[in-house]
Amino acid sequence: MSLTIKEIRVIVCCPGRNFVTLKIITNEGVYGLGDATLNGRELAVASYLEDHVIPCLIGRDPHQIEDIWQFLYRGAYWRRGPVTMSAIAAVDTALWDIKAKTSGLPLYQLLGGKSRTGVMVYGHANGRDIDEAVEEVGRYIEMGYQAVRAQCGVPGLPSTYGVSADKLFYEPADADLPSENVWSTSRYLDHVPKLFEKLRQVHGWDVHLLHDVHHRLTPIEAARLGQSLEPSRLFWLEDTIPAENQEGFRIIRQHTTTPLAVGEVFNTVWDCKNLIEEQLIDYIRATVVHAGGITHLRRIADLAALYHVRTGCHGATDLSPVCMGAALNFDLWVPNFGIQEYMRHAEITD
């Protein structure tokens, strides 16, 4: 009897966070798991899977991964959006999981084998002020991290992105309605270089330092920030401007040599094609769950490799451990690997 898809379940659960997990079960009892979590729009993906995807897959051969991917992508006239691509990603990842189990090999072996013996990840350090952030970066270094993202409060602002009371276990996005913050570009631009100057003074040059702007600047403001951070030699400066403003990256590139990273909100290779081909970025942040699964993320990485752009996959706690497991297998294989974001899950969400 040939292997077929017998049953598919959509599982929505997690305290304070709607993780969406897809479980594909075969007629022989072998099952695969895929992550379909889309922070803030989780139930839209769950509904899309239940109503539009699952009915199309029952009885199909789970080993026909490419054919199923193309069917789900091309069969939907309204495609390429985050809901559609997260749903496709969940199916794709679950099918790769089944193939790995039935072949008795880890996913990275099916992709072509290891390109490295380990994966460099970066943690998230934050503080209410510079001194506290410097101390938190030191804690990560003591834990063995070679790379740390650093964020800190800005004087005069009641709250700042990436800063929370619980340093090791903070949620990067809200589980319910979006939060509102007071913002001052001038104060931010003046303060951030001071943070990284202090970090280099205290922790030296053996640790990679990263920073996330969270799409808050204009191109010329981002260029100014990148230029002012050049003496601190950041590993990357992330999400400087809204990702859809791709013309703006040309302006930034013309004014600074600080490496640029973007892409966690991208869903297809078409979203990042121009940025990669024009070498306007150094790291592509697309991730398994939001970029169509292993099958499509591989296409993005292959394109990036042609232009010396490395991967730096999104890996915050708004993605489930299922996604992280798939991402780490991908990271072990992908030739043009750069780094992997890794946020520790709190006990309640682990």
Measured distance CA(209)–CA(123) in Å, rounded: 10
Bridge partner list, 147: 122, 208
Helix residue ranges, H only, 156-262: 185-203, 219-228, 248-255
**Cα-based distances in Å from 322 to 10, 37, 114, 169:** 14, 10, 20, 18
Active-site hit among 52, 214, 215, 345: 214
Judge whether 161 counts as a catalytic residue: yes
**How far apart are alpha carbons 291 and 288 in whole angstroms?**
6
**Catalytic residue flag (residue 208):** no
> CA-to-CA distance for 99 and 239, rounded, in angstroms?
35
Three-class DSSP category at 125: strand
Annotated active-site residue in 73, 122, 140, 161: 161
Is residue 318 classed as helix, strand or coil in its secondary structure? coil
Look at residue 180 and give its three-state secondary structure. Answer: coil
| Integer Cα distance of 168 and 176 in angstroms | 21
Nearest to 240 by CA among 256, 221, 227: 221
Counted residue by residue, the chain has a size of 350
- Could you tell me where the DSSP H helices lie in the chain? 42-48, 54-57, 65-74, 82-103, 107-111, 130-142, 185-203, 219-228, 248-255, 269-277, 293-306, 321-333
Q: Which residues are catalytic?
A: 161, 214
